[in-house]
Structure 1
Amino acid sequence: MIQEVITNITSAENQAEEIVRDAAARAKEIRLKAESEADVILKQAAKDSKDATRLRQSNAEVAAQRKTEMIAREGNKEISDFISKCVVNEDAAVETVKEKLFTKYGNR
């Protein structure tokens, strides 16, 4: 009977050691899997961040290009309008200069 109790205790200790080893192995597997998943998530987050930055930069470049084109169009229109006014006023200016020259120097 004592031998049976000792055998039961030894068996229980062996089972407990096996349970502890299995739990430690399982915990190690879970930790390694979690670290691997965290690495994948971190890499994906870095990629997503870079992609988002590139997209924002691209959008900013497109917006800047559109703004530049709009300013250039407005500037070209102002220049065109100014040239048109100069052409209209050119004839009057030429006539004024001619009159002054003819008045001062006559028709030689």
Structure 2
Amino acid sequence: MIQEVITNITSAENQAEEIVRDATARAKEIRLKAESEADVILKQAAKDSKDATRLRQNNAEVAAQRKTEMIAREGNKEISDFISKCVVNEDAAVETVKEKLFTKYGNR
């Protein structure tokens, strides 16, 4: 009877050790899987961050290019308007000079 109790206790201890080993191995697998998934998430987050930075930079460059083009168009329009005024003023000046010359020297 005592031998049977000792056998049962020994068997229970062996089963407990096996359960602990299995649980430890399973916990190690879960930890390694979690670390692996965390690494994947971290790498993806870093990539997403780089992509977001690159996208913001591209957006800023596009906005700057559009602003530059807008300023250039406005400048070209101002130059065109100024040249048009100069041509009109030049035509008026030529007419004034012609009139003065005709008045002074007549139509010869």
1:101 CA displacement: 9.7
Corresponding residue pairs, total = 108
Helix, strand or coil: the match of 1:24?
helix
User: TM-score scaled by structure 2?
Assistant: 0.84
1:95 CA displacement: 5.7
Q: Which runs of 4+ in 1 moved over 2 A?
A: 91-108
CA distance in 2, matches of 1:40, 1:69: 43
1:46 CA displacement: 0.6
Q: Deviations 1:33-59 (Å, cap 9, x if unpaired)?
A: 000000001001111111111112112
Q: Deviations 1:71-106 (Å, cap 9, x if unpaired)?
A: 100110000000110111123345667889999999
CA distance in 2, matches of 1:106, 1:23: 120
Identity %: 98
CA distance in 2, matches of 1:105, 1:26: 116
1:68 CA displacement: 0.8
RMSD (CA atoms): 2.9
